Each structure stands twice: as structure tokens, then as C-alpha cells.
């Protein structure tokens, strides 16, 4: 997919986004609400006609080659797309009837723990059950590519683990899985490739390791919101920046691949806190998480939170 543009009215929802997803890998499209994730996925599914750029799925155009692609692509929509009055089992049977070699209903249902709910109308399923039914519908045709829009939204932790395991199994089977999520731990845990979107653009992409800087250390702590970080900047070593990624949560991390957090940076930060009379609650020296990266980028995009002390970035 390259240079994708999708407009609703004058405002572009997707503004020149490009990425690719490999077979046998999970690609996670991350972003805040309104970042353009769903519009992007819907262009890939052939549900929306792009206003610009090129989308290819399995080498084909989602709209012109829709008839060829539809049996090969499994789709889970964000809103589910389930008829409310129909029984869950009937919906699954309907989806299965569209394919020459659908999955065995019994096994799929057992895997997703829907066995006891097949005679229940969709509207009386819980949110999590509806999600799992939508996932079953997406996978029943044994697709080569699966587009899953927020597959674990509204799931309890146990159900989420089941879905994660199923997605991992899809990857092992050679399926190209493209999912959207705003759960960063989900992306970090599942994805081989992460695409970070903001305001309709891809702002960062790579493996979770590449995005988080692999083994780079970070320092984070909680304190009063809105601390003036300007006096701290000159105390840190070159390439190290302090960021208030969300109100009251501060991250000290490198801004360039060459820079590394040094013991002196830890000392400087705690000393600075001590001078201000602030207790750095939850002070943690650790690896940068995808959440840190995401929040830093989101903070830079919105300009709402302060980023101070960027040297060489």
C-alpha cells in the first residue's frame, strides 16, 4: 500500500499512508481514535474507494479484483457487522456457506468458546461473545489475509488470551494478519511489524524492537503534572530527552540511536527532583515500551505536552 489518501468531505482521513504486510506475520496498525486506522483497513478490504495512492492485496486491486480477493480475505469489522436478531450459529453457518472449504464449525466454535451460545440471538450475546463470533466469521473461510479491526476490543483478559493465541496460530499457518488496535501491549506482544498512524499518516513503522530501540534503557516516574522540564535538559547527556508523555508521567530516554541513557542521567534526574522537593513515584529504570514510543510521538504530533531537551533529534 503506498501513498493512500481517503477523504470524507474536504478533510483527509488518510493522508498519504504507506506500509506493507507480509505473509506469516502480524502487522499491527496503531493509533489514537481518528488516526485513520479504520479508513486505511477499509480501503484494503475493498469497502472504500481510495481517493489517491495504490492499494494491493495479494498483488491485486481490492476493488477491481474484488471477486478474486473476497474468498481469500477474511474481514472482522470494528462494528462487528452482525445481524442482531439472528442466532449466532446461523450467522456462522451463513458465512461458512460462502466458501468451498470452510473450517469445521465444531472446532472453530470450541476454540473460541462459543459452543453454548450458538442458539442465542446476536443481540443477547455479551460484547466479548459478539467479538469472538465476528472473529469466527472472519476466519471460517480459511483466508490467506485476515483484516481484523480491533479484534480484542471489549474482551476480558481471558478471552483476549484466547484471541491472541488464535492470531499467533494464524501467523504460524502462513496467514498475513493485519490488525488495528490501540492496546499497545497487544501490539508489542503479537506484532512482527508495527505501523504507527497519526492524523492519517504513518509516523513510525518497524518491528517492536526497532521502534522501542531494542535494548535502550529509559527512566520513568510519576510526579505532579506540568513540571517545567527546561532546567533539567542541560543536566542530561547529549541525545537524552525528558518528556511528559501524559500529564504527570515523565520519561527520560534517548532521542537518537547513538545516544544511551547513562548512570549520570539517572543521578541528574533524581537530584533535580530532590531540589524541587518532588518524590519521583514509581521510579523505574527499564526498557522503553511501545507505549512510551507511542506517547512520545503522539505528544510531538499534538504539541499538547512538553518535550524538552532534544539534542540532535
Partner 1 sequence: MSALELTVPATTRAEGEQERAAAPVRRILAQTRFDAMAMLRNGEQLLLTVILPLFVLAGLARSGVVDLGEGRRIDLATPGVLALALISTAFTGQAISTGFDRRAGLLRLLGTTPLGRSGLIAGRLGAVAVVSAIQVVLLGAVGLALGWQPQLAGLLPAVLVGVLGSAAFVSLGLLLAGTLRAEAVLAAANVIWVLLLAGGGVVLAADQLGPFGDFVRWLPSGALGDGLRVALTGGSWPWLDLLVLAAWTAAGTLATMRWFRWDS
193, three cell numbers: 511489524
Looking at the Cβ atoms of 140 and 251, the one nearer to partner 1 is 140
* Smallest distance from partner 1 to CB 165, Å: 7
311, three cell numbers: 539534542
The site string for partner 1 over 46-85 (x = CB under 8 A, - otherwise) reads xx------------------xxx-xxxx-x-x-xxxxxxx
Is residue 174 within the footprint of partner 1 (CB under 8 A)? yes
Looking at the Cβ atoms of 165 and 185, the one nearer to partner 1 is 165
Looking at the Cβ atoms of 117 and 288, the one nearer to partner 1 is 117
* Smallest distance from partner 1 to CB 75, Å: 4
Among 173-181, 217-225, 235-243, 268-276, which window interacts with partner 1 (CB under 8 A)? 173-181
| Nearest CA-CA partner of 95 in 108, 111, 78 | 108
State the virtual CA torsion across 149, 154, 158, 159 in degrees, nearest 10: -50
241 Cα distance to chain centroid: 25
Is residue 36 within the footprint of partner 1 (CB under 8 A)? no
Is residue 212 within 8 Å of 286, Cβ to Cβ? no
CA pair distance 144, 238, nearest whole angstrom? 47
CA pair distance 158, 273, nearest whole angstrom? 40
CA pair distance 239, 313, nearest whole angstrom? 7
Options 4, 175, 197, 240; binder of partner 1; rule CB under 8 A: 175
Is residue 154 within the footprint of partner 1 (CB under 8 A)? no
Is residue 141 within the footprint of partner 1 (CB under 8 A)? yes
Strands in 26-30's sheet, in edge-to-edge order, are 73-76, 145-149, 176-181, 26-30, 193-198, 201-206
Which residues bind to partner 1, rule: CB under 8 A? 45-47, 66-68, 70-73, 75, 77, 79-86, 90, 93-95, 97-101, 103-104, 107-108, 111, 137, 139, 141-144, 165-166, 169-170, 173-175
Amino acid at each position: 500500500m503506498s501513498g493512500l489518501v481517503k477523504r470524507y468531505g474536504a478533510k483527509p482521513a488518510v493522508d498519504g499512508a504507506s506500509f506493507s504486510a507480509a505473509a506469516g506475520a502480524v502487522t499491527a496498525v496503531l493509533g489514537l481514535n481518528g488516526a485513520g486506522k479504520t479508513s486505511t483497513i477499509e480501503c484494503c478490504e475493498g469497502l472504500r474507494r481510495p481517493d489517491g495512492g495504490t492499494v494491493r492485496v495479494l498483488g491485486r486491486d481490492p476493488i477491481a479484483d474484488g471477486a478474486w480477493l473476497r474468498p481469500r480475505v477474511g474481514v472482522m469489522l470494528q462494528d462487528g457487522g452482525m445481524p442482531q436478531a439472528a442466532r449466532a450459529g446461523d450467522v456462522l453457518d451463513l458465512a461458512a456457506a460462502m466458501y468451498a472449504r470452510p473450517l469445521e464449525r465444531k472446532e472453530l466454535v470450541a476454540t473460541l468458546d462459543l459452543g453454548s451460545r450458538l442458539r442465542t440471538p446476536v443481540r443477547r450475546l455479551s460484547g466479548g461473545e459478539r467479538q469472538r463470533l465476528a472473529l469466527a466469521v472472519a476466519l471460517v473461510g480459511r483466508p490467506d489475509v485476515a483484516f481484523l479491526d480491533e479484534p480484542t476490543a471489549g474482551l476480558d483478559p481471558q478471552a483476549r488470551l484466547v484471541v491472541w493465541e488464535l492470531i499467533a496460530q494464524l501467523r504460524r499457518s502462513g496467514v498475513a494478519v493485519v490488525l488495528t488496535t490501540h492496546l499497545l501491549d497487544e501490539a508489542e506482544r503479537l506484532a512482527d511489524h508495527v505501523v504507527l498512524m497519526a492524523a492519517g499518516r504513518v509516523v513510525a513503522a518497524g518491528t517492536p524492537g526497532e521502534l522501542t530501540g531494542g535494548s535502550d534503557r529509559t527512566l520513568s516516574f510519576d510526579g505532579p503534572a506540568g513540571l517545567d522540564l527546561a532546567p533539567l535538559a542541560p543536566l542530561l547527556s547529549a541525545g537524552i530527552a525528558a518528556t511528559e508523555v501524559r500529564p504527570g508521567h515523565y520519561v527520560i530516554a534517548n532521542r537518537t540511536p547513538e545516544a544511551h541513557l547513562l548512570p549520570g542521567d539517572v543521578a541528574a534526574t533524581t537530584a533535580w527532583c530532590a531540589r524541587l522537593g518532588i518524590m519521583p513515584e514509581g521510579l523505574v529504570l527499564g526498557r522503553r515500551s511501545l507505549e512510551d514510543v507511542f506517547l512520545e510521538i503522539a505528544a510531538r504530533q499534538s504539541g499538547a505536552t512538553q518535550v524538552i531537551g532534544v539534542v540532535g533529534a
